[in-house]
Every structure is written in structure tokens, then in C-alpha cells.
């Protein structure tokens, strides 16, 4: 039960930070994103990859599913405008909810819930990933002309998608039969999102020692967990 509560709480923590404090320092948010990306990447490499390849007579097929996950995330990113890794490029004057964006984000959130119940490290990675994403999403929504009630309902639905994925993976036998394949798909999604966060170009292509230290700290934390 705690994995449901924590994955929901991560979205509300990010949203509440924006609602209450209205942070405007983009540099700190980018560092938080870098930490979350590095943590998610490290958890994927340390925890999820060994799990799907251990005692696996169909390793190449598993690799195919990982690549499908990478390509699926690339397609989702086209519709979500990059919200999964910290970018939303939409008209702030809109008064209508960008439905396609939230369907894409919802599917991403649903899929990332599948491996949670087997791995506390993955749960931690998703929580750390969701907080800055929820902050960016909340900031965008509050800066539009969309009704506040619609914003709150949207964030609640978004918060429920990951635990819904966890619930499905725990309770539907048909899903359990393809657990390895689904996990490989999620690995591909995580690899795409985390590497995009980490390795997209910095402003002016400058070396950033602070970002490097944040990445190292996130990697070490993921290894210890």
C-alpha cells in the first residue's frame, strides 16, 4: 500500500511547492531535474536491467522490447512536447486543457507504475523523477487561463496513473505472464527520459561542475539504495 501512497504523494508535493512557494529559480529546478534523471538512469542500470536479463534464455528478444520502449517514449514525447523531461512548449494563453499532452503523460505514468511493486529502488527513482515534473506541469497550468478547478482535477488524475499501473501489474494474471517484456519496455522508456534529461545541450555548451556533482551524488545514492 505504501507504494501507492508515495507515488501519489510525489505529484502532490511537486504541485504544492508551486502552489505555495511559486519558485522562480530555473537553475535550481534544472539541478533537481538532473538529480532525478541521474537517479532514474542509475536505478534502471543497477536494478531493472539485471532483473530482466537474469536467467533469461531470450535476452535478444528482451533487448528488442527495450528498444521498443525507447521508440515508444520518442513517440509519446512528440505528443507531450517533452514534458517528461522538463519541457512544455505550449501557448500559455490557452484556456483549454491540452488533452493529447495529458493522454501521453498519463500513458507514460501508467507504464512506469508496472515495475514498482517488485523494487523499492524503482519506487524511489519514480518519486524523485515525479516531483520536478509535477512542479513543471503545475507551473505551466497555473500560468495558463485554464480554470483552477480543472488544473486540480488534472493533477489528481495524473497522480493516480502510476499507482493504477502498479495495481494492474499486481492483480491481472494476463499482465503477470508478460512481466519481463513489460519491464523491458519500461526500461527503454526510462533510458530515453533519463538520458534526455542528462545529456541535452547545456546553454552555450559549457561544462557545469555543479551539475556533474549532482549527477554523481544521484548515482551514488541509487547504488546505495
Mean pLDDT of the chain: 86
Q: What is the CA radius of gyration of the chain?
A: 17
How many domains does the chain contain in total?
Answer: 1
Which of 1-5, 24-28, 66-70, 144-148 has the lowest average pLDDT?
24-28
As a whole number, mean pLDDT of residues 165-176 equals: 85
18 CB contacts (<8 Å, ≥6 apart)? 134, 135, 138, 139, 142
pLDDT confidence band for 89 (50 / 70 / 90): low
Nearest to 188 by CA among 64, 55, 57: 64
Cell readout for 202 is 547545456
Q: How far apart are CA 174 and CA 102, in angstroms?
A: 27
Asked if residue 21 belongs to a domain, the reply is no
pLDDT over 90, % of the chain: 39
**Band of pLDDT at residue 88, cut at 50, 70 and 90:** low
The pTM score is 0.88
Residue 40 within any structural domain of the chain: yes
Domain for residue 7, yes or no? yes
> Residue 22 domain-assigned?
no
Residue 86 lies in a domain: yes
Range of the domain at 91: 2-16+28-224
Amino acid at each position: 500500500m505504501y507504494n501507492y501512497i508515495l507515488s501519489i504523494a510525489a505529484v502532490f508535493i511537486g504541485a504544492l511547492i508551486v502552489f505555495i512557494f511559486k519558485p522562480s529559480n530555473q537553475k535550481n529546478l534544472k539541478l533537481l531535474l538532473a538529480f532525478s534523471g541521474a537517479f532514474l538512469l542509475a536505478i534502471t542500470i543497477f536494478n531493472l536491467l539485471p532483473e530482466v536479463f537474469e536467467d533469461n534464455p531470450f535476452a535478444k528478444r528482451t533487448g528488442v522490447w527495450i528498444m521498443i520502449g525507447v521508440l515508444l517514449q520518442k513517440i509519446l514525447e512528440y505528443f507531450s512536447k517533452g514534458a517528461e523531461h522538463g519541457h512544455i512548449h505550449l501557448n500559455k494563453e490557452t484556456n483549454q486543457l491540452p488533452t493529447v499532452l495529458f493522454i501521453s503523460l498519463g500513458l507514460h505514468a501508467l507504464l512506469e507504475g508496472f515495475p514498482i511493486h517488485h523494487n523499492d529502488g524503482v519506487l524511489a527513482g519514480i518519486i524523485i523523477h515525479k516531483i520536478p515534473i509535477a512542479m513543471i506541469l503545475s507551473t505551466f497550468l497555473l500560468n495558463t487561463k485554464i480554470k483552477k478547478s480543472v488544473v486540480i482535477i488534472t493533477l489528481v488524475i495524473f497522480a493516480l496513473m502510476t499507482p493504477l499501473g502498479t495495481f494492474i501489474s499486481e492483480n491481472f494474471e494476463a499482465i503477470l505472464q508478460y512481466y519481463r517484456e513489460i519491464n523491458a519496455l519500461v526500461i527503454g522508456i526510462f533510458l530515453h527520459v533519463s538520458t534526455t534529461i542528462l545529456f541535452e545541450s547545456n546553454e552555450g555548451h559549457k561544462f557545469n561542475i555543479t551539475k556533474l556533482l549532482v549527477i554523481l551524488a544521484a548515482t551514488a545514492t541509487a547504488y546505495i539504495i
